[in-house]
Amino acid sequence: MNFPKSFLETLRSRISLSNLIGERVTWDEKKSRSGQGDFWAPCPFHDEKTASFHVDTTKGFYYCFGCHVKGDCFTFLKDYENLSFVETVTRLSHMAGLQLPKSNKKLAENEKKKLLHYEVMSIASDFFIEQLDSNNATNCIKYIQSRGISQFSLKQFGIGFAPKANNSLYNYLKNKGFSTDLVLESGLCMQTESNQEPFDRFRNRLMFPITDERGRTIAFGGRSLDANVNAKYLNSPDTLLFSKGKIVYNYFNARTRRPKGSPLLLVEGYMDVVSLSQAGFTNVVAPLGTALTE
Ligand code: ZN
């Protein structure tokens, strides 16, 4: 049975290698630097008294300097417990609280659909960025300047502008050849009744793309530029790509750009992340409108 790559990646990102391995070995506490995700133990795969088995939890990888075994959470559990690959994935999914994909055929279709969703998100992101240069963006630019967001930050975070008009993004996406169903499923547009023309979810807002653990845009957050609007911040709804409780804003940047071993700083919102990042703190993330638990 083949599992989709994206599922295995999600699974890998959810499994803490230090927990998985730590339950099966005894760490050498003198040699390990747990704050930096750096663990050493006597190797569980060959007989030894010293600790030559190294686990790098940041990279999700282990290596033994004695017998040279190496790998990730999948190879570890498979080899340690002598499981088949399917058994391994099943066990890890259970640990991570993830549902196993239902069937391969359905999965393949789902994967194809996901690619389309990534594409529509990427094109929408380009659209919002382009709109910053339009005549409609005067107020938006004023707001950006008043908040002191630099050109560099605008680029780095892919910040854009959703115009006031009812369906400018909808028309743009339709012209690019995307089906109405897909555009509605992506959460970028909405429809009150099935026979009505869809309209844009984000209007007159400063737009922040939300990316997944690989840096691909999966959703948007929009900050209203109109003081009279009820919802100051509006996020994409949960979609095929996006589940608001499962990702934090700026996770990809923070993980890849933070100084090695530094902790992640958790702040309240998009603007806090952008401001801190601009001030040199690259290890900042923000929750996406969800309550925080341990
Ligand atoms: Zn070894």
Distance 259 CA to ligand 1 centre (A): 30
Entry pTM: 0.67
pLDDT band at residue 122 using 50, 70 and 90 as cut-offs: very high
Residue 161's alpha-carbon distances to 68, 100, 235, 242, in angstroms, are 52, 38, 14, 21
Cα(66) to centroid(ligand 1), Å: 5
Average pLDDT over residues 264-283: 92
Residue 107's pLDDT band (cuts 50, 70, 90): low
Query: How do residues 27-49 score in pLDDT, each as one tens digit?
Result: 999 999 988 889 999 999 988 88
| Cα 175 to averaged position of ligand 1 atoms, centre (Å) | 58
Q: What is the average per-residue pLDDT within 91-115?
A: 79
Tell me the β-bridge partners of 220.
Answer: 209
- Cα 218 from Cα 243, distance rounded (Å): 9
pLDDT of residue 110: 74
Mean pLDDT, residues 179-189: 96
For the sheet containing 217-224, what is the strand order? 160-162, 205-211, 217-224, 233-235
Centre of ligand 1 from the C-alpha of residue 255, in Å: 29
